[in-house]
Amino acid sequence: MRHGYTTMEEIRTHMAHQLDAFTVMDVGVYGDYGMDTANEIIHLEDELDDAYCKETILWMFDYARRWDNAYIEPALNRLIDTWLNTEE
């Protein structure tokens, strides 16, 4: 995690003014915030070598829930489980 946030509440509170423009543009190309997109982003994680800001991606999926919560929330939860709900 680029900014060190460990909860969605921290991301909701702090990320709006810290979004990574490259991540926004690259993820925005998918045009979809569903499970397939979330899984592809997770799958690409090793290849991207921290090129994407995970907090920005989480913020984007969380914000997109305003349009279609039932469709997007499972994808957001998958990202949260992968990146935030990890045991050390």
Contact 57, 41 (CB under 8 A): yes
Integer Cα distance of 75 and 55 in angstroms: 15
pLDDT at 37 > cutoff 70: yes
Give residue-wise pLDDT tens across range 5-26: 989 999 999 999 999 999 999 8
Residues 6+ apart with CB under 8 A from 23: 52, 53, 56, 57, 60
pLDDT value at 31 more than 90: no
| Alpha carbon 84 to chain centroid, angstroms | 10
| Spatial contact of 3 and 55, defined as CB atoms under 8 Å apart | yes
Residue 29 has pLDDT above 70, yes or no: yes
CB burial readout 50-72, b (16+ within 10 A) else e: eebbbbbbbbbbbbbeeeeeeeb
The answer to whether residue 46 scores a pLDDT higher than 90 is: no
pLDDT score of 49 more than 90: no
